[in-house]
Amino acid sequence: MANTSTKTAPKLYKSRIDLPEATRKEVSELLNETLAATLDVWSQVKQAHWNVKGKDFYQLHLLFDQVAGELYEYVDLVAERITSIGSTAHGTIRMAASVTPLPEYPLDAVNGKEHLTAVAERLAAYGKHVRAGIDKTEDLDKDTADLYTEISRTTDLRLWFIEAHLQAEP
C-alpha cells in the first residue's frame, strides 16, 4: 500500500492553557515538523549505529547509540509539548517520513568515516531546523522556545563529538 499521507494541520482541543488558539495552532504545526525531523534523525543515527564497520567500530557504535538515545528522549518531549498545548502529535514513522526536512541516509555508508560524515550532515541540518524553531517561537511561546533551546544545545554538543572524529582526518 502506497503512502498517501500529506501534511495536515493538527487537531486542536479546548484547553485552559493561556495561549491563544491561533498561537497553539501555529506552534503545534511547527512542533509536528520537529517531531518528524527528530524521529527521522533518531532513526538515521540508529542506522549508523547498526551498520558501522571498521577499526573504530566499537567506539562509534557506542557513540551513535548515545546520540540516538538522547534524540529519542526529545521525540517524547516534543510530542508531549504538542499535546500539552491541546493539539495532536503526528508521531508515526509514516507521518514523519512524509514531512521530514532531512535527506535520506546513504545505504552505501560502511566505514566509520562514511557514517560519521552522514551523521554530521544530518545533525547539522537538524540543528538548523531546531534553531529556526527557536526564532519562530520565542515571541509566540517561551516554553516551546526553551524546549528548542535545550534540544539545540545538546545537538550542537553531539555534532561536535561527531565532527571531532572527522577533524582528525588528514
pLDDT tens column, 10-33: 678 888 899 999 999 999 999 999
Q: Is there a domain that residue 15 lies in?
A: no
Residue 9 has pLDDT above 90, yes or no: no
For residue 2, what pLDDT band results from cuts at 50, 70 and 90?
Answer: very low
Number of domains in the chain: 1
Q: Is there a domain that residue 2 lies in?
A: no
**Where do we find the cell 558501522?**
52
pTM of the model: 0.91
**Where do we find the cell 545505504?**
107
pLDDT tens column, 40-86: 999 999 999 999 999 999 999 999 999 999 999 999 999 999 999 99
Helix H or strand E encompassing 127: helix 112-137
pLDDT tens column, 121-141: 999 999 999 999 999 999 999
Domain of residue 75: give its range: 21-167
Q: Is there a domain that residue 5 lies in?
A: no
The mean of the pLDDT values for the chain is 93
CB 8 within 8 A of CB 78: no
Question: Burial of 1 by CB count in 10 Å (0-12 exposed, 13-18 middle, 19+ buried)?
Answer: exposed
| DSSP notation for 45-96 | HHHHHHH-BSTTHHHHHHHHHHHHHHHHHHHHHHHHHHHHTTB----SHHHH
In this prediction, residues 114-118 reach a mean pLDDT of: 97
Residue 1: the pLDDT is 35
Residue 143: the pLDDT is 97
Rounded-to-integer distance, Cα 49 and Cα 46, Å:
5
Q: Is there a domain that residue 14 lies in?
A: no
Q: Is there a domain that residue 121 lies in?
A: yes
Residue 10: the pLDDT is 67
**Residue 143 maps to which CATH number?**
1.20.1260.10
